[in-house]
Structure 1
Amino acid sequence: MYKSRLLNSKIIKILSIMGHTDQIAISDAGLPIPKNVERIDLALAFGVPSFIQVFESVSESIQIEKVILAEEILEHNPEIHKKILEQIRQVEKSQKNKIDITYITHEMLKIQTNECKAVIRTGECSPYANIILQSGVIF
């Protein structure tokens, strides 16, 4: 039997096919998802599941070399930003490598989702709670 904290089969499938530099996004409930990108919709109700819950589970199941955030999160959602940075530090310890953090405009982040293998939509209803994870290699 598969042995990991992550149980969603669609997310596991996407993560298993990702190669070096491939990207996956985790979004709040409002981020527009491009038609050409797979949508994994986990949203059940306002705030359920939360962005942080999904980010923690996914980030423990993928080798991350880079994350992309909207620069607007710094001013408009500092609490989520703080939690993201805390989780990144935890992942860096377990992966034993530094994760590059890049900030771009929210508009650019929306455009970048076109390059993602999938966008995982959460029930998060706070502003700019979106992240793109870029896959690294385990060797």
Structure 2
Amino acid sequence: MRKAVLLNAPIARAVALMGHTDTLCIGDAGLPIPAGPERIDLAVTQGLPAFLDVLEATTGELFVERVTVAEELRDTQPALYEQIRNLLAALQDLQGNTIAIDHVPHETFKVQTARSRAVVRTGDVTPYANIILHSGVTFG
């Protein structure tokens, strides 16, 4: 059994296959998933698993260089947005880098998910609880 925090095999596999600038999307239960990326469906019931729990476990494995979120998340879900910023701040300290946050319209965000290596669907039903993680490198 792996010693790492992330026990979900499909997510761990997707992270292991990522190179610099590859992306992984974590989304709420309603985010449309395009045909291209691998679909990793974790949704069990409304709210389970929660978006933040999946994000925290995934960033325990992935070196994050930057993230993309919808402007609507920042504008309509300020408490969740602040929780994400706090998680990223702690991750920056752990990784020793600065993690940029890109804000795009939700429609643009949905288009960008098509370039992700995988899209992880959570059971979260909070509107705009979606993020694209951009992989960095642990050296240099």
Give the match for residue 136 of structure 2: 136
How far apart are residue 95 of structure 1 and its match? Answer: 0.2
Q: What does the per-residue CA deviation read over 1:55-101, in whole Å, with 9 as the maximum and x for residues that have no partner? A: 00001110000100000112211111011001000100110100011
Give 4+ residue runs of structure 1 displaced > 2 Å after superposition: none
**In structure 2, what is the Cα distance between the partners aligned to 1:137 and 1:36?**
24
TM-score by length of 1: 0.98
Tell me the residue number matched to 1:63.
Answer: 63
TM-score by length of structure 2 reads: 0.97
2:53 partner letter: Q
* CA displacement 1:1-50 (0-9 Å, x = unmatched): 42111100000100001000000000000000001111100000000000
Is 1:73 the counterpart of 2:80? The answer is: no
Aligned-pair Cα RMSD in Å: 0.7
Segments of structure 1 that go 5 or more residues without pairing to the other structure are none
Q: Which aligned pairs between 1:15-94 and structure 2 lie closer than 5 A? A: 15-94=15-94
SS of the residue 1:133 aligns to: strand
- 3-state DSSP of counterpart to 2:109: helix
Matched pairs, number? 139
Matched, 1:13 2:13: yes
Deviation, 1:107, is 0.4
2:112 aligned partner = 112
2:24 match: secondary structure: strand
